[in-house]
Amino acid sequence: MAELKATEVSEEIPVQYFNGFNISFGNADFTLTFKLDNRELIAFKGSYTIMKTLSEKLPELFRKFEGIVGRPMLTSDEVLKALQDAASKETETGKPK
């Protein structure tokens, strides 16, 4: 079913880039909605079992990737906080840090 491997994408399937997402759930499944520049692109529905499996595979994948590149990746929440902190310091001192 799921496996970790280097990027390989079949030329027969469409590829979409996204830089945001929403996750929601109902009584029967989860929905992942992918966005580009805050505009919804596509939504995928998945069973609880598949989404649970995905939720376990993603951290495994990132641990492996971060081990290979030798550094942790930042999340969008971490980047946002750093930007907000920098803006706050700039406001306090009147100059960029």
68: three-class secondary structure by DSSP = helix
**Residue 10 is assigned to a structural domain of this protein:** no
Report the DSSP beta bridge partners of residue 36: 39
**Residue 1 is assigned to a structural domain of this protein:** no
**Residue 12 is assigned to a structural domain of this protein:** no
Q: Which helix (H) or strand (E) holds 43?
A: strand 39-46
| pLDDT higher than threshold 60 for residue 86 | yes
Tell me which DSSP letter residue 27 carries: S
Q: How many domains does the chain have?
A: 1
As a three-state string, the secondary structure of 70-85 is: CCCCCCHHHHHHHHHH
pLDDT in tens, 9-61: 778 888 899 999 999 999 999 999 999 999 999 999 999 999 999 999 999 99
Domain of 76 in residue numbering reads as 20-93
Q: Assess contact for 72 and 65: CB atoms under 8 A.
A: no
Alpha carbon distance 25, 36 (integer Å)? 21
Q: Is the pTM of this model over 0.75?
A: no
pLDDT of residue 96: 63
**Residue 42 is assigned to a structural domain of this protein:** yes
**Residue 86 is assigned to a structural domain of this protein:** yes
**Residue 59 is assigned to a structural domain of this protein:** yes
pLDDT in tens, 3-20: 556 667 778 888 899 999
**Residue 14 is assigned to a structural domain of this protein:** no
